[in-house]
Amino acid sequence: MWPLTIISFMVCFVPSFQQFPRLCATREALLAKECCPRWEGDGSACGARSGRGFCQDVQVEDQPHGPQYPFSGLDDREKWPLVFYNRTCQCAGNFMGFSCGDCRFGYFGVNCNERRESLRRNVFHLTRAERIRLVSYLNLAKQTLSRDYVVATGTYREMENGSNPMFADASVYDIFVWMHYYVSRSALLGGPGNVWTNVDFAHWAPAFLPWHRVYLLHWEHEIRKLTGDMGFSIPYWDWRDAQGCDVCTDELMGGRNPQDPNLLSPGSVFSSWKVLCSRAQEYDNRGVLCDAKEEGPLRRNPGNHNHDLVEQLPTSAEVEFTLSLTNYDTGPVDRSANMSFRNTLEGFGDPRTGLGNSSRRGMHAALHVFMNGSMTSVQGSANDPIFLLHHAFVDSIYEQWLRRHRPSPSQFPDSNAPIGHNGGYHMVPFLPLHRNREYFISSKDLGYEYSYLLDASKCPYVWGFLFSLFTLKGKYFRFHLSLKNKVKPAYVCVTTYLYLCSVQTRGYQNPFILTWRSCRACGPSCCSQRSWEESWLWPSPLLFSQEHGDTKSCLGST
pLDDT digits over 61-114, tens only? 989 999 999 999 999 999 999 999 999 999 999 999 999 999 999 999 999 999
Q: Quick check: 430 and 17 in contact, CB under 8 A?
A: yes
Could you write out the DSSP letters of every residue in 26-74? SHHHHHHTEE-PBPTTTSSBTTGGGTSEEEEEPP-------TT---SSS
Residue 399 identity (one-letter amino acid): E
Please state at what angle helix 128-143 crosses helix 172-184, rounded to 10 degrees: 70
Q: Quick check: 237 and 463 in contact, CB under 8 A?
A: no
Q: CA-CA distance, 255 to 302, in Å (whole number)?
A: 10
CA dihedral 396, 402, 404, 406 (to 10 degrees): -170
Backbone angles phi, psi at 480, to 5 degrees: -135, 160
Residue 547 has pLDDT above 70, yes or no: no
List the single range of 299-308, 373-382, 510-519 with lowest mean pLDDT.
510-519
pLDDT digits over 146-184, tens only? 988 999 999 999 999 999 999 999 999 999 999 999 999
pLDDT digits over 516-532, tens only? 333 333 334 433 333 32
- State the CB neighbour count (10 A cutoff) for residue 147: 11
What pLDDT does 489 receive? 37
Annotated domain spans of the chain: 465-555
For residue 476, what pLDDT band results from cuts at 50, 70 and 90?
very low
Of 453 and 495, the structure prediction assigns the larger pLDDT to: 453
CA dihedral 429, 431, 435, 438 (to 10 degrees): -120
What pLDDT does 281 receive? 96
Q: CA-CA distance, 368 to 283, in Å (whole number)?
A: 21
pLDDT digits over 262-273, tens only? 999 999 999 999
Instruction: Report percent pLDDT > 70 for the chain.
Output: 78
- Long-range Cβ contacts of 460-465 (<8 Å, 24+ apart): 460/490, 460/491, 460/492, 460/493, 461/488, 461/490, 462/487, 462/488, 462/490, 463/487, 463/488
What pLDDT does 526 receive? 39
The alpha-carbon radius of gyration of the chain (Å, integer) is: 24
Q: CA-CA distance, 149 to 522, in Å (whole number)?
A: 40
Bridge partners of 151, per DSSP, are 168
* Closest CA relative to residue 512, chosen from 531, 487, 491: 487
- Which residues does 188 contact at the CB level (< 8 Å), separation at least 6? 74, 75, 155, 194, 195, 287, 288, 289
Could you write out the DSSP letters of every residue in 403-425? HHH---GGGS-SSSSSTT-STTP
Strand 195-196 and strand 114-115: the pairing is unpaired
Strand 34-35 and strand 53-57: the pairing is unpaired
Mean pLDDT throughout 341-352? 98
What pLDDT does 357 receive? 92
Bridge partners of 502, per DSSP, are 514
Q: CA-CA distance, 296 to 276, in Å (whole number)?
A: 8
Collapsed DSSP state (helix, strand, coil) of residue 107:
strand
Collapsed DSSP state (helix, strand, coil) of residue 104:
coil
Strand 118-120 and strand 448-450: the pairing is parallel
Q: CA-CA distance, 534 to 175, in Å (whole number)?
A: 45
Residue 468 has pLDDT above 50, yes or no: no
What pLDDT does 164 receive? 97
Please state at what angle helix 208-227 crosses helix 386-405, rounded to 10 degrees: 130
What pLDDT does 455 receive? 63
Q: CA-CA distance, 126 to 231, in Å (whole number)?
A: 14
pLDDT digits over 17-56, tens only? 446 999 999 999 999 999 999 999 999 999 999 999 999 9
Q: Which residue blocks in 379-456 are alpha helix, DSSP H?
A: 386-405
Residue 13 has pLDDT above 60, yes or no: no
- Taking the model in full, what pTM does it have? 0.82
Mean pLDDT score of the chain = 83
Residue 285 has pLDDT above 50, yes or no: yes
Q: CA-CA distance, 142 to 338, in Å (whole number)?
A: 40
